[in-house]
Amino acid sequence: MADLPVYTDADPSMAELLATHPHLTTDPMCGLMFEGVPLNAIADAVGTPCWVLGAGTLRQRLKRMQTAMVDAGLDVSIHYAVKANDHLSVLSLIGQEGYGVDIVSGGELARTQKAGIAANRVVFSGVGKSDAELEYAIGLGIGQINVESAEELGIISAIATRLGKQATITLRINPDVDAKTHAKITTGLAANKFGIPFDNAAALYARAFTLPGLKPVGFATHIGSQIVSTAPYHAAYARVAELVRTVRASGLSVEVVDCGGGLGICYRNEVEGQPEALAGTIRAELGELGVRLSIEPGRWPVGPAGVLLSSVVLRKQEGLPAPFVVLDAAMNDMVRPSMYDAWHGILPLAPQAFNQPVTPTHVVGPVCESGDTFARDRLLPPLERASRIAILDTGAYGAVMSSTYNSRPLATQVLVENGQWTVIRHRQTLEELWQDETIPAHPTGKA
């Protein structure tokens, strides 16, 4: 069994989870509702496992971020981090609302183009952009490339020159700041692979102005994910501000600072990151510089906007101190618990379940790995065979990280909007699992 983190405080109760997730409500007849739609109705129609995403919640949360920045008197554009949830419906909504995007691959760039997002609203981050990806991005006239190394700066200059283009670039700075989050999602420490070492940045920025095909406009930073305090942001932005002043003093222009993403949400009982506090931090550290600012949130807007519906395949209890409830969803669908020891809320769908006594329950998937565990000793009402549950806060780093491990087809995805719901991805068929595979006519060694 994977060692989940040991929490010394009690898990939130079902009532407490409902209180921290206002888009989830209960109805005495229908049970658990999501943006006013009974989740049982969706599961009845399309089966489980099934991802449900709420357009209303996503819009509201993006709006709250934008309002926070405007209210702080800041000129901040929002670039949604595509990797959190790259579904075309999400990107289309982002484009319609007028936001930009932050991408980390050519595939993500292609999706943004498919979703109709103008190339000049796209920012390209990432530590290992291939030549083909850079050619594609520069050829399209992408808005900005965040350069992560001295080596990459030279490569971009060469490609842009060859294409007869000018690439607008910032340098992504590694501020050597501890974001105080899970080690696998910390990106701003000197030991991490991301960004340019702070002490090299000023000289490299000067060099960028001497290289052909480049238009250096400023700096970017991104220190990690699921950050719920402002202290690491203060520390990182103070260093970036220091850098801006240094290079300006040497006569170089700086027009842009990209503040990255990383704002955390309430999975368990964290006080979720507040966009208003982030805006205050940005204003305090960067507000006087007279630069165009941007943020790159992924998890914060879209994480709480999704749930994963699942049914109990069986309840394994005989001879055991606590039951194992085996779901039809597994680590191949949602890898966060096994990969990051992530804690996700679990709520039943049935109306009567909210009034029943709770007992410690292990919630697991059917995949042949002990790490395929969603929760240990979770206080839940009796979950019998065919009972349904919702796993909360799966809108970010959920479906997008799915695989077909154990030959388990990718699950259905549904979008809820204005009290209506639509299938936005059909359940993968068994044939689709192997449709891109071929068997050689003469297998090796048998020719």
Provide the binding-site residues for ligand PLP, judged by CB under 6 A: 81, 83-84, 102, 104, 125, 222, 225, 260-263, 296-300, 396
CA trace torsion 245, 250, 256, 260 (10° rounding): -60
Q: Which residue is nearest to ligand PLP (CB)?
A: 298
| Least distance CB 172 / ligand PLP (angstroms) | 7
Closest CA to 122 of 147, 149, 135, 104: 104
| Least distance CB 194 / ligand PLP (angstroms) | 8
262 annotated ligand-binding residue? yes
Residue 197, preceding bond cis, omega within 30 degrees?
A: no
151 annotated ligand-binding residue? no
What is the three-class DSSP state of 50? Answer: strand
Residues with Cβ within 8 Å of 416's Cβ and at least 6 positions away in sequence, in order, are 34, 35, 37, 52, 53, 54, 55, 56
Which is closer to ligand PLP, CB of 213 or CB of 298? 298
According to DSSP, the β-strands at 388-392 and 346-348 are antiparallel
298 annotated ligand-binding residue? yes
| Least distance CB 273 / ligand PLP (angstroms) | 9
Adjacent-strand bridge partners of 359: 380
Which is closer to ligand PLP, CB of 213 or CB of 260? 260
Which is closer to ligand PLP, CB of 34 or CB of 194? 194
Closest CA to 282 of 301, 302, 262, 253: 262
Any idea what DSSP says for residue 297? -
38 annotated ligand-binding residue? no
397 annotated ligand-binding residue? yes
E-strand ranges in 289-426 read 292-295, 306-316, 324-327, 346-348, 359-364, 373-380, 388-392, 412-417, 420-425
Q: Report CA-CA distances (Å) from 354 to 30, 305, 346, 348.
A: 12, 22, 12, 7
Which is closer to ligand PLP, CB of 62 or CB of 263? 263
Closest CA to 310 of 343, 344, 346, 336: 346
Number of H helices, E strands in the chain: 13, 21
Which is closer to ligand PLP, CB of 125 or CB of 387? 125
297 annotated ligand-binding residue? yes
Which is closer to ligand PLP, CB of 173 or CB of 254? 173
Which is closer to ligand PLP, CB of 285 or CB of 296? 296
The residue assigned the tokens 């906007």 is 305
Angle at 345 between CA 344 and CA 348, to 5 degrees: 135
Q: In one letter, which amino acid is 36?
A: G
| Least distance CB 279 / ligand PLP (angstroms) | 15
The residue assigned the tokens 């000197």 is 190
| Least distance CB 256 / ligand PLP (angstroms) | 15
Query: Annotated catalytic residue: which of 30, 50, 259, 368?
Result: 368
Annotated catalytic residue 368 = yes
| Least distance CB 275 / ligand PLP (angstroms) | 12
| Least distance CB 262 / ligand PLP (angstroms) | 4
299 annotated ligand-binding residue? yes
**Residues flagged as binding site for substrate:** 299, 336, 340, 369, 397
- Active-site amino acid positions: 368
**Residues flagged as binding site for pyridoxal 5'-phosphate:** 262, 296-299, 397
**Residues flagged as binding site:** 262, 296-299, 336, 340, 369, 397
